[in-house]
Amino acid sequence: MTVTEPTDVAPDATPEAAPDATPESAPVQDAATAQETPKRSRKVLGSVLRWAAAVVVCGGLGAGTAAAITSMERTDVPGLATESDGRWAYPKLSLPPLPEGSPRPFTVGNEGEVHHADLRALLLPAPAGATVDPKLDGAWVSVDQYVSLYAKDERPELKQVIDDSALRQITARAWTMPDGTKSAVYLLRFKSVGFSEHFKDDAVNAGTTATTPLEGIQSVGTEALGNDARVPDTVQYATAEKKPYGPEQTRWAYIQAGDTLALVVQSRKGEALAVPFQQTVTLQNQLLG
């Protein structure tokens, strides 16, 4: 809030006496004038005090806001609220605790950029109003379940690459929103960042038009997610199904975060909306970063 300082208002000055005037010759105020001057002085003083109080309050609010922002804990992950632009109401997110003595994935000394927290706790929860798929409810999933996302002729090779790539774990969660949007998030944790990057670049070709196709996808194009989706030390690659497509459109994105690779998939009849897709990718990215 901008506070405009009031114009200084000085009380009426008492006329100066002439240099040669004696006390007897100085002007004498009548009773009415003598009463009016203190009233004006009190009025001006009251106005100044009110403005001063407003400045103090505004300064205090600004300082309080700055303190709240600068004191935000690293474990707090800012959610994106549901607004008129179509964003979903995700629960408040926070990073899970680490085993004692274990570093965060991107701290100095963690050369493999390993996530030491429980991978399932790093998986994005479903938003309000979602119906969670009981088969993909945040538990561990098999390699066969994961590769079933891709075109049938791609599955044998992908499975072989995974077998050779020191994959440790896969977890996933899927849900459907009231408007019919279907979402699924998979997290794959490898032995180190090198194995994760190899799978991203050489197995699924993330972020290119030559990306390994998902089941039923014929033609794809890369997408930009915007600056809000960026998280330090991670990278993301978004792809959308291009027209002509069938009764529904699919969008998906890979997130490279150290030893972990995330896959976010959304599909919807008619068109997969960009806003909830970007929101979902952004929040999952923040949890991994």
Distance (Å, whole) CA 206 – CA 191: 19
Do 170 and 263 fall into the same domain? yes
Q: Of residues 74 and 140, which shows the higher confidence score?
A: 140
What per-residue confidence (pLDDT) applies to 84?
60
Say how many domains are in the chain.
2
The pLDDT value recorded for residue 4 is 37
Residues 252 and 202 in one domain: yes
Pair 266, 220 in one domain: yes
Question: Containing domain of residue 10, as a range?
Answer: 1-71
Q: Is there a contact between 131 and 167 (Cβ–Cβ < 8 Å)?
A: no
Q: How confident is the prediction for the chain on average, in pLDDT?
A: 78
User: In this predicted structure, what is the pLDDT of residue 21?
Assistant: 38
**CB 128: neighbour CB atoms within 10 A?**
11
Is the CB of residue 253 less than 8 Å from the CB of residue 241?
no
Q: 44, 71, 98 — which closes off a domain?
A: 71
Looking at the structure, tell me whether residues 150 and 192 fall in a common domain: yes
Res. 76: pLDDT tops 70? no
For residue 162, what is the domain's CATH number?
3.40.1000
**pLDDT tens column, 24-41:** 333 434 444 444 444 444
Question: Of the residues 21, 39, 71, which one is the last residue of a structural domain?
Answer: 71
Residue that is last in its domain, among 21, 54, 71: 71
Asked whether residue 158 falls in the same domain as residue 263, the answer is yes
Residues 64 and 167 in one domain: no
This prediction has a pTM of 0.72
User: Per-residue pLDDT tens for 174-195?
Assistant: 999 999 999 999 999 999 999 9
Is the domain of 167 the same as that of 232?
A: yes
- pLDDT of 208 over the 50 cut: yes
| Shared-domain flag, residues 111 and 245 | yes
Q: What is the largest CA-CA distance in the chain?
A: 115
220 and 97, same structural domain?
A: yes
272 CB neighbour count, 10 Å cutoff: 22
**pLDDT band at 56, cuts 50/70/90?**
very low
> What stretches of the chain adopt beta strand conformation (E)?
76-77, 93-94, 131-140, 167-176, 182-190, 220-223, 235-241, 248-257, 260-269
